[in-house]
Amino acid sequence: SKKRKFLENSTRNMSEPKKVEGKWLPLESNPQVLNKFAYEMGLPKSCAWGDVYGFDADLLAFVPQPVIAAVLLFPCSDNMSKFKQIQHDRVQKDGQEVSDSVFYLKQQDTIGNACGTIATIHALSNCGVELDDGVLKSFIESSKKSKRTPDEIGSDLLGVEGIRCASDDSAESKDAQTDTPSREDKLNAHFIAFVRIENFLYEMDGRKAFPINHGATSDQSFLTDVARVVKECFISQDPTNLRFNLCALSKNQ
């Protein structure tokens, strides 16, 4: 399969898309909330989000297989920021292989607390499942056809009212177990996605300059490999913090 070197691209589209007023609401790390948003975005009902109750093999075994994507909510901290910079510098220095099949967008500062929405979009667009016709499928297809950069796709997302409204509706749904923060609240946690593309495990973080290729994986080992990366690259930065939450997207056989 064709590969490319994925480097930072600061190219921006000079014509600004129409902006939707107000920052986006944060999604809760809750399978019911993620399912509501994902189904509105065209995910077939043969797939569903579920909780991952721990990162050890005996707990991972409870998760329905195959797992085709995952999202992680983790606490922001100085240690995490330092690790992110070290990782960025290493990739910039050594390079990495990223498949042309990866669909990646960068989170814009003006979008508010949309990291959960963007992580879910990264999961849905890279999980290998055909989405039903709708606003997200159209957005992905038009972005690919126009060869938009990750930065441009992130800017374009600001103007897609159908995605924003569905995301806000899910954030405020009765399935949420906590009160929805306001649009202006500063949250001390961040969402990212993990996906398998051409048997490589990618970390998709809209706040990073590029996807991170974490090496080889397989249909059978994907969730185990995700758990390993979470422990090695995230929990190890703040080992006493318990606020790490992983949800897995499973596909019915």
Annotated catalytic residues are 115, 190
CB environment 149-173: b (16+ within 10 A), e (fewer): bbbbbbbbbbebeebbebbbebbeb
Beta-bridge partner residues of 201: 196
Reading the block at residue 248, the tokens are 């897995």
Give whole-number Cα distances, 33 to 28, 74, 75, 233, in Å.
7, 17, 20, 26
CB environment 51-78: b (16+ within 10 A), e (fewer): ebeebeeeebeebeebbbbbbbbbbbee
